[in-house]
Structure 1
Amino acid sequence: MNKQELVDAVAAKTGATKAAAADALDALIATITAAVKKDDTVQLIDSGSFSTGARAARVGRNPATGAEIQIPAAKTVKFMAGKPFKGRCQLAESETKRRQV
């Protein structure tokens, strides 16, 4: 599902216009981005949480030449799915398998 499909689905479920759904989605993404940039954790109860993580510096290999390269340490964004969200996704997967049989 891409962003436009998500906007269409939200608009259909809420009865909002597609423009309003797109604005709401953009505001949500901007708010989460701003919070994570400040090293805050964003918790969405029953869904999961967005936070920052750290990747240590390491040695890698250039796949074309095989030469060793130094990969610097970096900050990254993490999403940890909550138990209720994981449970809903697994239930949906098992229902899909039953329907295929």
Structure 2
Amino acid sequence: MNRSELVKAVADRAGGDEAVARRHVDALFEAVMEAVSAGERVVVTGFGAFDRSSRPARSARNPRTGAPVEVPAALVPTFRFGQTFRNRVAQSAAPAEVAAPAEVAVEAAPAEAAPAVEDAPARPKKPKKGKKAASKKAPEKAPQKAPKKGKKAAAETTAPKKKSGKAKARAKSGK
């Protein structure tokens, strides 16, 4: 939802004109931004709290060149969700749809298989990031035969694709 869609939604709920709703939405945003920039905390009970926090100076790297860059200290706006807002979003996730297939599987399974379903974790764990996680994530492979040596073996393992011109010359020279 963008700003104009928000204005339309406010006008529909308030039963008023879109021009009036636009002025009210703009006034709300301006009031919040002015208060937070002045260092005040704006709390809307049930919705959340707008605040200002300071970020210390730090050293970073330019992703394109890799050169170190000094990032100055800054004041940044922050928002913390209220409990009512969190509950509303959590309810909209439709937990009934997620739980329904599990209940059907338990009912359809024989009595002996039911404990196995209960012992299984509800959600699979997310893999960790990094080199170690990548090695754990990779499926176990069957041991492979030792590679053959020589030109004939190299020809057998590569795809039989004809090359012409410079590519053919490079292939012959091994470059």
- What TM-score does the superposition give when structure 1 sets the normalisation length? 0.91
> Which residue identity lines up with residue 83 of structure 1 in the other structure?
Q
2:79 is aligned to 79
Partner of 2:91, secondary structure, is helix
Higher strand share: 1
Displacement of 1:93 in angstroms is 2.2
Instruction: For 1:49 and 1:65, locate their aligned partners in 2 and report how far apart those are by CA, in whole Å.
Output: 39
1:1-101 to 2 correspondences below 5 Å: 1-94=1-94, 98=97
Give percent identity, aligned residues only. 36
How far apart in 2 are the matches of 1:14 and 1:92? Answer: 23
The count of corresponding residues between Structure 1 and Structure 2 is: 98
Give the structure with higher Rg (CA): 2
Report the AA paired with residue 22 of structure 2: A
Q: Aligned partners of 2:93, 2:4: CA distance in 1, in Å? A: 23
CA RMSD of aligned residues (A): 1.5
Higher relative contact order (CA 8 A, sep 6+): 1
SS of 2:64's partner is: coil
Structure 1 spans left out of the alignment, 5+ residues: none
- Moved beyond 4 Å, runs of 4+: none
Measured in 2, the distance between the counterparts of 1:49 and 1:15 equals: 27
Q: CA deviation at 1:32?
A: 0.5
Distance (Å, rounded) in 2 between the aligned partners of 1:18 and 1:93: 31
* Separation in 1, partners of 2:30, 2:53: 19
CA distance, structure 2, for counterparts of residue 94 and residue 18 of structure 1: 32
Distance apart, 1:13 and its partner CA? 1.1
Unaligned runs of 5+ in 2: 102-175
Aligned to 1:65, the other structure's residue is in SS state coil
SS class of match (1:54): strand
Q: What per-residue deviation string (whole Å, max 9, x for no partner) do you get for residues 58-96 of structure 1?
A: 11111110000000110000000011111111111226x
**Secondary structure in 2 aligned to 1:93?**
coil
